[in-house]
Chains A and B, each alone.
Chain A
Amino acid sequence: AQSVTQLDSHVSVSEGTPVLLRCNYSSSYSPSLFWYVQHPNKGLQLLLKYTSAATLVKGINGFEAEFKKSETSFHLTKPSAHMSDAAEYFCVVIIPGDTGRRALTFGSGTRLQVQP
């Protein structure tokens, strides 16, 4: 079985300070991991993905995430928050080649607030 846990439902930071959104996963197989962002009243947009290549993955808008197998984590970071980063962020795990709904698992989401 696989699961994704986003440890914080809400994170609030000041503009210009670092962002850390935490994600832990459990999987019996080598997973593919993704971060998606959803701005208010918008669909989900892919930020970055990890698919067993480099463990440090760079995404759009200055975000990056590091896959740490020993910690089963895939935390999302950004050195300096911008007001436009305020949104909800979803961590997703997919088992390549698996079929059935078990193969697609979304975290519960983390709402990021950026204070001026």
Chain B
Amino acid sequence: DAGVIQSPRHEVTEMGQEVTLRCKPISGHDYLFWYRQTMMRGLELLIYFNNNVPIDDSGMPEDRFSAKMPNASFSTLKIQPSEPRDSAVYFCASSKQENIQYFGAGTRLSVL
């Protein structure tokens, strides 16, 4: 398996623009997680899904953030409108039955 695949690897955008981050989990995994990593806050869990259903989105910072999982092989994290303080590395991870999580390489987002 190719592992968890995230795209794009890098995203540079201007404040106010919409940003969409994409994730393809490992085939057969039933949990998918979105994390954000910054120097100030470390690694934060934003939201996670089980069988494509959002289970806990209490980590999503505000209404500008939304995440979807239309099927078992694809998820998106959207920020609209983006702000400079959203600049971070966003990781997607997947797991089987909420056990070992396998991480993607991350998307480095810079909002100017």
Residue positions of A touching B, CB distance < 8 A: 32, 34, 36, 41-46, 49, 51, 90, 94, 96, 99-101, 103-104, 106, 108-109
Do A101 and B59 touch (CB < 8 A)?
yes
A96 / chain B contacts, CB cutoff of 8 Å? 98-99
Do A100 and B98 touch (CB < 8 A)?
no
**Could you say which interface size class chain B belongs to?**
20 to 34
Q: Is B71 an interface residue (CB 8 A)?
A: no
Given the contacts A32-B99, A34-B100, A43 and B105 also touching, CB distance less than 8 Å = yes
Choose among A49, A100, A106 the residue that contacts B56 (Cβ–Cβ < 8 A): A100
Do B42 and A100 touch (CB < 8 A)?
no
A-B contact pairs, 15 of them (CB 8 A): A32-B99, A41-B108, A43-B91, A43-B103, A44-B103, A46-B101, A46-B102, A100-B56, A101-B56, A101-B59, A103-B98, A104-B45, A104-B48, A106-B42, A109-B43
Kindly state the separation between the CA atoms of A45 and B105 in the bound complex, as whole angstroms. Answer: 10
A99 / chain B contacts, CB cutoff of 8 Å? 55-56
In the complex, how many angstroms separate the beta carbon of B20 from the nearest chain A beta carbon?
19
Chain B residue nearest to A90 in the complex (CB):
B43
A41 / chain B contacts, CB cutoff of 8 Å? 108
Q: Is B33 an interface residue (CB 8 A)?
A: yes
In the complex, how many angstroms separate the beta carbon of A105 from the nearest chain B beta carbon?
9
Per-residue interface assignment for chain B, residues 43 to 83, with 1 indicating a CB less than 8 Å from any chain A CB and 0 otherwise: 10100100000011011000000000000000000000000
In the complex, how many angstroms separate the beta carbon of A29 from the nearest chain B beta carbon?
14
Choose among A36, A51, A104 the residue that contacts B33 (Cβ–Cβ < 8 A): A104
